[in-house]
Amino acid sequence: MRVPFIKMHGLGNDFVVLDARVDAIPAMNDALAAALADRKTGIGCDQLILLEASTLADLRMRIFNADGGEVEACGNATRAVGLLHDAPTRIETLGGVLTATPADLGIAVDMGEPRFGWDEIPLAYAMDTLIMPVGWEDLENPAGVNVGNPHAVFFVADNHAIDLARLGPLIEHDPLFPERVNVNVATVTSRDAISLRVWERGVGETRACGTGACATAIAAMRRGLCDRRVTVTLAGGPLVIEWNDAGRIIMTGPAAESFRGSFDPADYGATL
């Protein structure tokens, strides 16, 4: 039997979506997820998304990075799943229950409340997370934010001048971050605009990262660098991030379906 999939993306951050509520799906593990994500020998994606039944929400979304590791949250994937349902949808994740709603600019996602405690990021030891007293060569004094997954946010004069391919993995795997970390390098261009590049743990630099845009906007707001509603522009395009009066993060942006197909699990050493 072949397993159907949907290929989707949010601003170029791409996903393979499998729906275990509808079809028989092989038991997912890191090896199978990594094999399907491989761009040369698999289907190819930044993240593999597995949809399951939920007792807490309309559905459960499991997220596997390209290296096969399961992670807590993915803002772009949440918008993609919201697009599939085309109606307000509550989505259970390891990072909490998120709500995706159709909006004028695409899909609006209530990402919940950000967390700032050093043990909530998490870090290996206590420190101020607004201006962390640490640095890696050209990148110093990040802000730590957890928006369902861990982020370190660096503000620089020109984020395109940073060698993120070299510094990203160095920071991602630093012992300071026991669960590794997503590395965001941002340049604030006005009170309502930020330019952003993101090194995603287990993936590398991506064209877009929804949780990275949220974490970066919140860090900039906490430091007084921008207003409570800001457009964050990544290589794949813009996301609008608002930190509302209730303390919740609302992320709005597009998502799209690329194509549909199927695969034989035996090709990847799996069975139904």
CA distance 249 to 186: 18
What are the φ and ψ backbone dihedral angles of 207, each rounded to 5 degrees? -70, -20
- What pLDDT, on the 0 to 100 scale, is given for residue 26? 93
Other CB atoms within a 10 A radius of the CB of residue 21 amount to: 12
DSSP state for residue 225 in the 8-state scheme: S
Segment 55-97, tens digit of pLDDT? 999 999 999 999 999 999 999 999 999 999 989 999 999 999 9
Query: Smallest Cα–Cα separation from 193: which of 158, 230, 157, 224?
Result: 230
- Verify that 42 and 94 share a domain, yes or no: yes
The whole-number pLDDT of residue 86 equals 87
Is 180 within a domain?
yes
Does pLDDT of 234 surpass 90? yes
Q: Same domain, yes or no, for 97 and 125? A: no
The per-residue pLDDT for 1 is 86
Q: How many domains does the chain have?
A: 2
The percentage of residues in the chain with a pLDDT greater than 70, rounded to a whole number, is 100
**pLDDT value, residue 194:** 98
Residue 196 belongs to what domain range? Answer: 114-247
Same domain, 25 and 41: yes
At 226, the pLDDT band (50, 70, 90 cuts) reads very high
Residues 62 and 179 in one domain: no
Kindly state whether residue 171 falls inside one of the protein's structural domains: yes
HEC assignment per residue over 163-196? CHHHHHHHHHCCCCCCCCCEEEEEEEEECCEEEE
Is residue 123 assigned to a domain? Answer: yes
Residue 271 within any structural domain of the chain: no
Rounded Cα–Cα distance for residues 182 and 171 (Å): 9
CATH code (residue 64): 3.10.310.10
Residues 118 and 202 in one domain: yes
Q: CA 203 to CA 149: how far, in whole Å?
A: 14
Is the pLDDT at 129 greater than 90, yes or no?
yes
Asked if pLDDT for residue 272 goes beyond 90, the answer is: no
- Whether residues 204 and 145 share a domain: the answer is yes
Active site residue 214: no
Let me know whether 165 and 186 are in one domain: yes
User: Phi, psi at residue 44, to the nearest 5°?
Assistant: 100, 120
Exactly one of 45, 209, 214, 226 is catalytic; name it.
Answer: 209
Residues 60 and 150 in one domain: no
Same domain for 14 and 62 = yes
Rounded to 5°, angle at Cα 59 from 55 and 94: 80
Note if 45 is an active site residue: no
Does 161 map to a domain?
A: yes
pLDDT at 271: 87
pLDDT digits (tens, 9 = 90+) for 20-50: 999 999 999 999 999 999 999 999 999 999 9
Instruction: Measure Cα distances from 103 to 76, 79, 100, 150 in Å.
Output: 15, 11, 9, 27
60 touches 54 (CB < 8 A): yes
- Provide the pLDDT for residue 266: 94
Q: Model's pTM, two decimal places?
A: 0.94
Sign for the pseudo-dihedral over CA of 127, 130, 131, 136: positive
- Indicate if 98 and 124 belong to the same structural domain: no
- pLDDT at residue 191 is higher than 90: yes
Nearest of 186, 130, 189 to residue 156 by alpha carbon? 186
**Quick one: 118 and 243 in the same domain?**
yes
Q: Which residues contact 165 (CB under 8 A, 6 or more apart)?
A: 204, 205
Catalytic residue among 45, 74, 214, 226: 74
- Same domain assignment for residues 122 and 238: yes
For residue 51, the model assigns a pLDDT of 98
In our burial notation (b when 16+ CB lie closer than 10 A, e otherwise), range 203-223 reads bbebbbbbbbbbbbbbbbbbe
Average pLDDT, the chain: 97
Whether 164 maps to a domain, the answer reads yes
